[in-house]
Amino acid sequence: MHPRFHEQKKMNKFFRKYFPALPVALVLGSVMFSHSCANTTTPPSGGKKDTIPPVIVGLNPLPGSTNVPTHGTTISITFDEYITVKDPKAIYLSPPLDKMPKYRMRGKTLQVYFESDLRENTTYTLDLTGALADNNEGNMYPGYTLHFSTGDAIDSMMVTGTVMDCNTLQPIKGATVMLYKDHADSAVVKRRPDASVKTDDWGYFSIRNISDTLYRLYAIVDESGNNLYDFESDKIAFADSVIRPTMVVRDTLPELLKYDMKDTVHCMARKSEYDLLVFKERPSKQLVKDRKRIDDRSAYISFMAPDVMIDSLWVRGIPSDRLIAQMNTRRDSLELWINDRRRMPDTLHVFVDYLKTDDSTGTLKPFTEHLRLVQENKGSTSARSSRRNLRKEDTTCVITTSVSGETVEQYGFGLEFKYPIINEGFSEVTLRSVNPRQQEEQMKFSVTRDSLNLRKYTIMPEGKLQSGYEYFLKIPHRRFRDINGSWNDSTEVKVSLPNDDKLSTLTLNLSGVHHKYIVDLLNEKRDNTLRTYIVENDQALLFPYLKGGKYSIRITEDVNRNGIVDTGDLFSHRQPEKVLFYKLRDGSFVIDIPESTEMDQSIDVAALFSSPVSSN
């Protein structure tokens, strides 16, 4: 008897056993989508636009099939209408093979096949979420996960969780979540996982039909799409210890249903067992990454890894006392200036004596790097042409000023010079106030140079600033001279405190501050930091001049007290420094501040950081 007869007989037996009274299309439609998914009933006639996603009407192999062949396997999924593959990468097989699944269309049937053999005695899941749409109107197919086994049994356990960015705690869509039975950290680099899945729009994942055993749990932002961790290009997250699944697969579980991603209520109600925080590891290999001659007297050198250890640096033909160098906060980039008015050569020969990674041993060894920094386009035009093309900023000590009425009380006036200055005249700078009656008064101020940027200064007014007053900072002509010998132009900047009765004030009363913390006020979307404080003890933080609206409070635990958020390290099992958003009693992470309001909020920082990771 023909093999197709047996296959059809098997399918009919399946439907008679489980769904004896319902048509096949209706059965499959109702089983595969929850009540909150897009409607899958038959569309009405009469020419209206088709808004109904495709419906599965046939499957081979059937869900839960066992002893599926490992060689030449093809998965056939038939729909009630013609469909198109919108995103081939979203056709995802777990455990993944060396190559992505391939597909072809045969009428209304999608055939998924594999270029290499499946593993023996393994439960597989084929996920179609985000891959398909109908051919006419482009209605996206909500998704479906088919499970089958090449052995005698189907694994029945599952794991759920959420993947987030370690700094913003925003969900990461499309991250690859991976389970390994091999508990060595090197497994995520060397071999593909024993089970995996992609996260949805909410950063949510559910890895279904896995065996009941111990796993290592990882998530990566897989730039190459090879289901392996590449530390040079990928971001990674990991669970602190091995895990064991506790949930049993049931197709009616909310965690396994395919929801419309705009269905906030149902998407957020899903159980999330693990929160994974994705970070970018610091490179471990140390070497010169990039270098550039910016102009005659300035250049920069960047290194592969942070915290470079430089013993000495010199430039051929330039006295050491004429060099000005500055490292950035991460100590992976160096700015270099030459304080010498003489004509500079076309090529600067820079020598850097530092600890470089030895390729043969992988250890740091002293090495002297010879860098040739060429001035681009120098000598390509005549001296007369060069003088004609000079811009004003080429012959001026350029000063950039920054000040905001909302933050001047905290940050003051910022001054940043394009080049290091060799003559300064802060004693000639004036700050005056003008009251509403146009009466002027000179004000005292302090000047502080930034500890991380030798070209940046802060001018901080002394005394309380008052609403309704205007404040003028004036920098006279020819009071500052930079390394190029250029003097500054005069400039004046004006600022006043906001004077809008509708503005509000938020006061954060912090307690339980036992470490150094970075406290940020962000807008609702968390893409703009409005004000930052660094605290080391209990205190009240003032956030004035706020428009009515929604805000978030981000608090970062700065354990090593360096003022930045340090990343994690996989092989050292070190998570990135902990970042949390303050959560209100009602479960919201958003503080809604009405207009014309003075709001007080108390935060026990110690209690906040002792609780599980907060997310939204």
**136 part of a folded domain:** yes
pLDDT of residue 141: 86
Mean of all residue pLDDT scores within the chain: 88
Last residue of a domain, one of 138, 154, 170: 154
pLDDT of residue 432: 97
Whether the per-residue pLDDT at 572 is higher than 80: the answer is: yes
- 20/137 same-domain check: yes
Whether the per-residue pLDDT at 17 is higher than 50: the answer is: no
DSSP for 231-274, written as a single string? TTT-EEEE-SS-B---EEP-TT-GGGS---TT-HHHHHHS---E
- 140/164 same-domain check: no
229-234 long-range contacts, CB within 8 A, separation 24+:
229/188, 229/189, 229/570, 230/189, 231/189, 231/281, 231/283, 231/284, 231/570, 232/283
* CATH at 434: 2.60.40.1220
- 115/240 same-domain check: no
- 256/182 same-domain check: yes
Region 433-449 average pLDDT: 96
| Residue 251 C-beta-side C-alpha neighbours within 13 Å | 12
**354 part of a folded domain:** yes
Which residue has 């050198």 as its token pair?
301
**404 part of a folded domain:** yes
Amino acid letter for position 432: R
- 349/445 same-domain check: no
Last residue of a domain, one of 496, 512, 541: 496
Exposed, middle or buried: residue 591 (CB in 10 Å: 0-12, 13-18, 19+)?
A: buried
242-245 long-range contacts, CB within 8 A, separation 24+:
242/183, 242/214, 242/215, 242/216, 243/159, 243/214, 243/215, 243/216, 243/217, 243/274, 244/212, 244/213, 244/214, 244/215, 245/157, 245/158, 245/159, 245/210, 245/212, 245/215
**69 part of a folded domain:** yes
* CATH at 159: 2.60.40
Last residue of a domain, one of 321, 341, 374: 374
- 332/184 same-domain check: no
pLDDT of residue 202: 95
Region 253-258 average pLDDT: 94
- 54-76 pLDDT, tens per residue? 889 999 999 999 999 999 999 99
**276 part of a folded domain:** no
Q: How many Cβ atoms from other residues are within 10 Å of residue 500's Cβ?
A: 11
* CATH at 550: 2.60.40.1120
**213 part of a folded domain:** yes
- 525/599 same-domain check: yes
| Total number of domains in the chain | 5
Stated as kind and residue range, the H or E segment containing 209 is strand 204-210
- 301/404 same-domain check: no
Whether the per-residue pLDDT at 507 is higher than 50: the answer is: yes
**280 part of a folded domain:** no
pLDDT of residue 588: 82
Q: Which domain holds residue 77?
A: 1-154
- 358/399 same-domain check: no
pLDDT of residue 478: 95
- 420/445 same-domain check: yes
How would you classify residue 29: left for phi > 0, otherwise alpha for psi between -120 and 50, otherwise beta? alpha
**315 part of a folded domain:** yes
Instruction: State both tokens at 144.
Output: 């479906």
- 241/338 same-domain check: no
- 256/319 same-domain check: no
